[in-house]
Amino acid sequence: MAYDLHIEREADEAPPILLEEWGIAVAATEGVRLFTGDAHSFTNPKTGEVIEIGRREGDAEVFFREDGKWHSDFRWRGDSAIFSARFEPGHPVWAAAVELASRLKAAIRGDEGEIYDLQTGKIIHR
């Protein structure tokens, strides 16, 4: 099972992120847009099998300048956006996540509850 990171607000300190707020933040962030397709397609690198996962409202994608393509990286789930923990500072997905979290006055939190520093990507709170 993959380890994910979440853009979310702390429940005790602020209201959860609303889908409308998320959409506004995505629209204001260069290189990020809401996903409008019917399904996300992924190719298994080991088997070549193409896997399709249905789109949910609020899913977003990031533009990768290296290959000139949009990649589906953010999945909207209730009151947070989820993305893979495989991205590090300097990567387009991490940069987008930091900008989105900053716009939303939110944190980047791991599956186990740890909070990541937006600049360094290091864990600052467990």
Question: Across the chain, what does the average pLDDT equal?
Answer: 91
Question: What pLDDT band is residue 93 in, cutting at 50, 70 and 90?
Answer: very high
pLDDT reported for residue 1: 59
CB 76 within 8 A of CB 57: yes
CB 4 within 8 A of CB 84: yes
Residue 118 has pLDDT above 70, yes or no: yes
The residue type at 48? G
Distance between CA atoms of residues 68 and 56, nearest Å: 24
Helix (H, G, I), strand (E, B) or coil at 76: strand
Query: 């987008």: which residue's tokens?
Result: 96
Strand partners, 8: 107
Closest to 95 in 3D by CA, of 70, 124, 63: 63
What's the pTM?
0.88
The token duo for 30 is 């260069």
Query: 């399709």: which residue's tokens?
Result: 52
Residue 2 has pLDDT above 80, yes or no: no
Cβ-based neighbour number of residue 71 at 10 Å: 14
